[in-house]
Structure 1
Amino acid sequence: MGRSTLIGWAGLVLAGCAAAPEPMPPPGTGEGDQCGAAANQHLIGRNIAAVSFPADANVRVACTTCAVTMDYSPTRLNVFFDQDSGLIREVRCG
């Protein structure tokens, strides 16, 4: 093996030893909960028709199978409900 091959292998071995990045907290919980999702987890299981939000609230309501934009806004509360039953299934920031 040539010197450059050995250096390449050594780099790969050392890269495998690098520390893993810190995992992100679950959406809407703990640190980074800028939208208040943790305080709104009580909505899960309620019917979407029985829930209302202030007109100026930064909230997106969508069904769990509906298409939504992929833009991320940490201050926006996302409320996802089951289209068939109307029950809220997930509340998270984004």
Structure 2
Amino acid sequence: MKLALMLPFALASLSGCIPAAENAETGQNPPELSGSCDASSLAYAVGKTLNQELEAKLKSEAKASVVRVAPHDGVITMDYSPARLNIFTDEASKIIRINCG
């Protein structure tokens, strides 16, 4: 009986974890859900020091909506976003890997 009473509250609290398909006010998808990313031509940047200009250039070339920089000692989530460019750096801010997702 108690489970039946608690179930609606549990489901309501979980509904906040599901991203909305589009913004109700603007009718547009959030940036991480729209577009796609292609990092296949960005290998030239591996070994370079990451700065704001290079980050913007890589984002543009990859046609990414969002950039996530993962520092050498950082922790990132394992969620997948096809429009996100991931840039992994070492302790000296040199790029060690680039991919989309």
What TM-score do the two structures reach when normalised by structure 1?
0.53
Match of 2:71 among 63, 75, 82: 63
Residue type at the aligned position of 1:79: I
Q: 1:73 to 1:79 in 2, by over 3 A?
A: same
Q: CA deviation at 1:48?
A: 0.9
State the distance in 1 between where 2:89 and 2:48 align: 9
Partner of 1:45: 47
State the distance in 2 between where 1:87 and 1:44 align: 7
Q: CA deviation at 1:88?
A: 0.2
Partner of 2:31: none
Q: CA deviation at 1:65?
A: 2.9
**Residues 37 and 100, structure 2, Cα contact 8 Å, conserved in 1:** yes
What TM-score do the two structures reach when normalised by structure 2?
0.50
Q: CA deviation at 1:75?
A: 2.0
Residue type at the aligned position of 1:87: K
- Tell me which structure has the larger Cα radius of gyration: 1
Partner of 2:13: none
CA RMSD of aligned residues (A): 2.3
Match of 1:89 among 73, 84, 96: 96
Runs (5+) with no aligned partner, structure 2: 1-35
Map 1:17-56 onto structure 2 (within 5 A). Answer: 34-49=36-51, 51-53=54-56
- Number of residue pairs matched? 60
Greater fraction helix:
2
